[in-house]
Amino acid sequence: MLQLWIFLKRVWTFLRRKEFYKTLLCIDVGTDRMPFDDDDFDVVVCCGGIAPAHISPVVIKEWTRIVKPGGIISFTIRRCYIEIMQGQEEFYSKKLAEKCDEALEDLKNNKKAEVTLKKEIPHLENSPAVIYVLKVL
């Protein structure tokens, strides 16, 4: 985990130095309302943050609030958290899987966002992840 943090810190430093983004934030995320106005951002990216005892999928609705229509939300979840996988059964979280499904279904039904990509990708520790890309409507 320390190696991952060092890598991410280097990426943040590089992106800031190159002024790739107008605003680049690294903040704690919970279930509370985030301190941003509606439609404040073009993109939200969360890699590996949604997990049992970490960020709840409930936050996806909040991300939709702060991202402009036409903007993108991208996040990853380890597949073993949302599906029972052979040899990794102890990581499965029925509650997390249900909350993720509910949040995505609610956004779709209320025409707030649509899933444009859901794909399995390699992940750390030989456990695949699922990347989701949503377009805010």
**Domains of the chain with CATH codes:** 25-136 (3.40.50.150)
Task: Provide mean pLDDT across the span 10-22.
Answer: 71
Q: What is the pLDDT, as a whole number, of residue 9?
A: 64
**Integer Cα distance of 65 and 85 in angstroms:** 33
Q: Give pLDDT tens digits for 53-79.
A: 889 999 999 999 999 999 999 999 999
Q: Is the pLDDT of residue 124 over 70?
A: no
d(CA 119, CA 43): 19
CA 117 to chain centre: 13
Treating both helix axes as pointing N-terminal to C-terminal, what angle do 94-109 and 59-66 enclose, rounded to 10 degrees? Answer: 30
Q: Give the pLDDT of residue 122.
A: 82
Over the stretch 74-107, which tens digit does the pLDDT of each residue have?
Answer: 999 999 999 999 899 999 999 999 999 999 999 9
CB atoms within 10 A of CB 66: 19
Say which DSSP state 51 is in: S
